[in-house]
Structure 1
Amino acid sequence: MGAEAVIGGKLLQRWFDAPSWLLALALLLEILPRAVDGSLHVCFGVTEPDAGTDTTRISTFARRKGDGYVVNGRKVWITKAGDSQKMILIARTTPRAEVAKPTEGLSLFLIDIDPAQVHLQAIPKMGRNAVQSYEVVFDDLFVPESARIGEEGNGFKYLLDGLNPERILLAHEALGIGRAAIRRAVGYAKERIVFDRPIGQNQGVAFPLAEAVMRLDAAELVARNAAWRYDQGLPCGREANTAKYLCADAGFKAADQAVQTHGGMGYANEYHVERYFRESRVLRLAPVSQEMVLNYVSQHVLGLPKSY
C-alpha cells in the first residue's frame, strides 16, 4: 500500500495541471484515501514488449473519440494488474513520427481495469511470487477525458516524478531481503557443526558474512540519505539511482552468500535462502537495470557524453 500511495499520489497530483482543477480535486479526494487505506489497488502500466528501458518506444495508443479516448495496445510485467481496480497508464496520444522529440506526445491516464476490454495473462516467474505480474492487452477501451492526468502530451515528464521514489523504495526492499538472508545464514553458521565446531567459527565462513553485512550497512546510509532528500523536496536523482544500484548489489550478494553458507542445503526450499536469492535477483533488473544507473551517473553526475 505504501508504494502505491507514494508513487501514485505523486503522479496523481499532476491532475491539477489539467484545465479543470475542480474536477481534478474531486477525483483526487475520491482515489487517494482509498489507495492509502488499501480499499483501492492501483497498478502502473508502462513497460511493453518492445519498450522496456526506452519508454518513448511504447506503441499503446489512445485515440481521441468524442469526450474521451479509445485505447489499444499491450503492456507486460505489470505488477498486481489482476488484483487492481485501476491502472496509471502511459500511452501515445500523438504518433512518434509527428513530434519534435520522442518524449513528447505521451499522456498519462487513470483507467478502470474492465475485464471486458482489458485482458490479463499472468507471467510465470522465477521469484517475486508474493505479487503476480501480467501481460495486459487493451481492446478498444474507452477512457473519459476526465481520466487523463495533467495535460495531453506531457505524460513522460509526469512519469519522471514517480521514478525517484520508486527507486528509493525498492532500494530499501533489497536491503530487507539481504538482511533476512544474513539472519538465516548467521543462524545456520552457529548451529551447523562440522569437524566438532560450528562452521561460523571458520573465517572462510565468517568473513564473507561480515563483509556482506557491512555492504548492507553502507548501502543503507545512501538509501536513507536519498529518502531524506526526497522528503525534503530536494533534488535526489543522483542519490535515488545510487541507492538503487548499491542496495540491489548488496542485497543480492548477501543472499548469494547466505546460500553459500548453507552449502548444499542452501539449494533446498527448506531453508528459505534460495528464495531470498531469487527475490533479490530481480532488483538488479528492475525498475531500472544496473547498467542504466551507471549510464545515468556517467552522464548526469560526471558530465560524460551520452552513450546510447
Structure 2
Amino acid sequence: MSFEETEDHRAIRDAVAAVVQQFDDHYWSMKEEKAEFPFEFHQAMADGGWLGITMPEEYGGAGLGVTEAAIMMNEACKHGGGSAAVSSIHINLFGPHPIVVFGTEEQKKRWIPKLVSGEDKVCFGVTEPDAGLDTTRITTFAKKVEGGYIVNGRKFWTSTGQVANKIMLLARTTPIEECKKPSDGMSIFYTDLDKTKIEVKRIPKMGRAAVDSNATFIDNYFVPDEDLIGEEGKGFSYILHSLNPERILVAAEAIAIGQDALSRAASYAQDRVVFGRPIGQNQGIQHPLAENWIDLESALNMTMKAAWLYDNDRHCGAEANAAKFLGARAAHRACEQAVFTHGGLGYAKEYQVERLLREVIVFRIAPVTEQLILSYIAERVLGQKKSY
C-alpha cells in the first residue's frame, strides 16, 4: 500500500471540506446548546452525494470503499462539528450494509436511494439495557405471525431515534435455549420507526447533545415479512459484516476531533503571550502538543492500513480494532491537552475545546470497549486463551 494520498482522495477531502466549512463554530455551539439535530448539515452532505459514498452506484451511491469513507468522515469531523457532525451521518456508511449484501433487489431499490438522498434517516436498534456488548443475550423477540412479526423488547443508546423514520432492528426469532449456538436465532429487520406506536425516550448525556441517544420501547409492534433482511435466524452473522468498517470509521472520526483540538491548541499557543513571550515558545507547552501530533499520525496510519486491507479483501480485524483503540486514545489525549493549553479559557465554551473533549470521550467507550479490543488482540493475534 502507498502512504501517498491520491489525487482522487485529495479531491474528496477538498469537496467535503467545502461543504463542512459552511458550518462554523457558532452553528455547532447553537446546536449543542439547543440539543437540536443538525438538519442543515445533514442535508448539505446529502446534497453533495456523501451519504451514499459506499452505496452501489445503481442505487444512487458512489460505490467507493471504506478508505474513501474514512477520508470523508475524517474531513467532515475536523472543522468544528466533532462527533455531532459525523454522528448525524455515520450510520449511512455502515448501517445499511446488510441491505446491500443480503437484501433482495426489491429491498435495495426501495430503501437505498432514500438513504442516499437523505429522505430517510435510520437508527440502529441493537444494544439492549441488560445485554450491553454481549449481543447474543438480547431479549427483544420477533414472533412470527401471518404476514410478518410481532416485536416486543427494549433497545438502548438508539442514536438519532428522535429524527429517524427507519430502524435497523436486531431481534430474536428463536429463543436462545432452542439454538445450537448463542449467535443463532437472531434476525435483522429494516422497518418503519412509527413513533406513534414505539416510544423513543431521549437520554440526557455528557456530550454530543445535538445528536440524540435514546431508550426505545417496543410493544406488540408489527413488522411485515418484506422488511426481513436475508434469512430468518442469520441476523447476527449479517451485522458482523459491518463491524470492521465501523471500527475504521470511528477511528477516523475520533482522530479528526483530536486533530481539530490540536490545531486550536497550537494556534492559541502561538498567539497567547505570557511573561513577554508566546506560551508556545516554552517546551512545557510544545512537547505535549508534539506528542499529540505523533500519536494522531500513528493512529491515522493504522486506520488507513485497516481500510486498505478491508478494501482489498484482506483480513483486517486486528488492524481495525487497533485503529479504533489508538485513534480514540490519541484523540482523547489531544483534546485534554488542548484544554490545558488554553488554561482557564479552555474551560470556557467560547473556545470549543471543552466541547471537543466531552464529545471525544465516547469514542473510548463505544462501539466496543478498549478492554474487549485488548482481549481480541490477545486471543486472535497473540494466541492467548479466551479470558471472559
TM bin, normalised by shorter chain, reads over 0.9
> Following the alignment from structure 2 to structure 1, what is the Cα–Cα distance between the partners of residues 305 and 123?
27
- Structure 1 residue aligned with 2:222: 142
Q: Which amino acid aligns with 1:42?
A: V
State the Cα distance separating 1:8 from its structure 2 match. Answer: 2.8
Superposition TM-score, scaled by structure 1 size:
0.95
State the Cα distance separating 1:112 from its structure 2 match. Answer: 0.6
Q: Deviations over 1:78-124 (max 9, x none)?
A: 11111111111000111111112111111101121012221110111
> Following the alignment from structure 1 to structure 2, what is the Cα–Cα distance between the partners of residues 34 and 235?
32
- Residue from 283, 288, 308 that aligns with 2:363: 283
Q: Which runs of 5+ in 2 are unaligned?
A: 1-50, 52-88
Q: Which amino acid aligns with 2:116?
A: V
1:18-37 paired onto structure 2 within 5 Å: 24-37=104-117
Does residue 15 (structure 1) correspond to residue 95 (structure 2)? The answer is no
Q: Which runs of 5+ in 1 are unaligned?
A: 17-23
- Structure 2 residue aligned with 1:217: 297
State the Cα distance separating 1:225 from its structure 2 match. Answer: 0.9
- Structure 2 residue aligned with 1:207: 287
Q: Answer whether contact 1:5 1:32 (CA < 8 A) is retained.
A: no
- Structure 1 residue aligned with 2:156: 76
Q: Which amino acid aligns with 2:230?
A: G
Partner of 1:62, secondary structure, is strand
Q: Which amino acid aligns with 1:12?
A: I
- Structure 1 residue aligned with 2:32: none
State the Cα distance separating 1:158 from its structure 2 match. Answer: 0.6
Q: Answer whether contact 2:266 2:280 (CA < 8 A) is retained.
A: yes
Q: Which amino acid aligns with 2:225?
A: E
- Structure 2 residue aligned with 1:231: 311
State the Cα distance separating 1:130 from its structure 2 match. Answer: 2.8
> Following the alignment from structure 2 to structure 1, what is the Cα–Cα distance between the partners of residues 258 and 203?
25
State the Cα distance separating 1:206 from its structure 2 match. Answer: 0.5
Does residue 270 (structure 1) correspond to residue 350 (structure 2)? The answer is yes
Does residue 247 (structure 1) correspond to residue 334 (structure 2)? The answer is no
1:101-120 paired onto structure 2 within 5 Å: 101-120=181-200
State the Cα distance separating 1:135 from its structure 2 match. Answer: 0.8
- Residue from 176, 182, 185 that aligns with 2:265: 185
Instruction: Count how many residue pairs are aligned between Structure 1 and Structure 2.
Output: 301
Q: Which amino acid aligns with 1:167?
A: R
The 4+ residue runs of structure 1 with deviation greater than 6 A are none
Kindly report the root-mean-square deviation, in angstroms, between the aligned alpha carbons of the 2 structures.
1.2
State the Cα distance separating 1:267 from its structure 2 match. Answer: 1.3
- Looking at secondary structure, tell me which structure has more strand per residue: 1
- Structure 1 residue aligned with 2:176: 96
Q: Which amino acid aligns with 1:116?
A: T
Q: Which amino acid aligns with 1:295?
A: S
Superposition TM-score, scaled by structure 2 size:
0.76
Q: Which amino acid aligns with 1:73?
A: G
Q: Answer whether contact 1:259 1:266 (CA < 8 A) is retained.
A: yes
Partner of 2:199, secondary structure, is strand
Q: Deviations over 1:134-189 (max 9, x none)?
A: 11111111011111111111111111011111111110110110011011111111
State the Cα distance separating 1:14 from its structure 2 match. Answer: 4.2
- Structure 2 residue aligned with 1:170: 250
Q: Deviations over 1:8-64 (max 9, x none)?
A: 332113434xxxxxxx21111121122112111111111110111100111111011
Partner of 2:95, secondary structure, is helix
> Following the alignment from structure 2 to structure 1, what is the Cα–Cα distance between the partners of residues 313 and 150?
36
> Following the alignment from structure 2 to structure 1, what is the Cα–Cα distance between the partners of residues 209 and 356?
12
> Following the alignment from structure 2 to structure 1, what is the Cα–Cα distance between the partners of residues 102 and 222?
19
Partner of 2:376, secondary structure, is helix
Partner of 1:82, secondary structure, is coil
Does residue 3 (structure 1) correspond to residue 66 (structure 2)? The answer is no
> Following the alignment from structure 1 to structure 2, what is the Cα–Cα distance between the partners of residues 108 and 283?
25
> Following the alignment from structure 2 to structure 1, what is the Cα–Cα distance between the partners of residues 318 and 381?
7
Q: Which amino acid aligns with 1:121?
A: K
> Following the alignment from structure 1 to structure 2, what is the Cα–Cα distance between the partners of residues 189 and 60?
52
- Structure 1 residue aligned with 2:84: none
Q: Answer whether contact 1:4 1:35 (CA < 8 A) is retained.
A: no
Q: Answer whether contact 2:99 2:107 (CA < 8 A) is retained.
A: no
> Following the alignment from structure 1 to structure 2, what is the Cα–Cα distance between the partners of residues 59 and 14?
26
Q: Which amino acid aligns with 2:378?
A: S
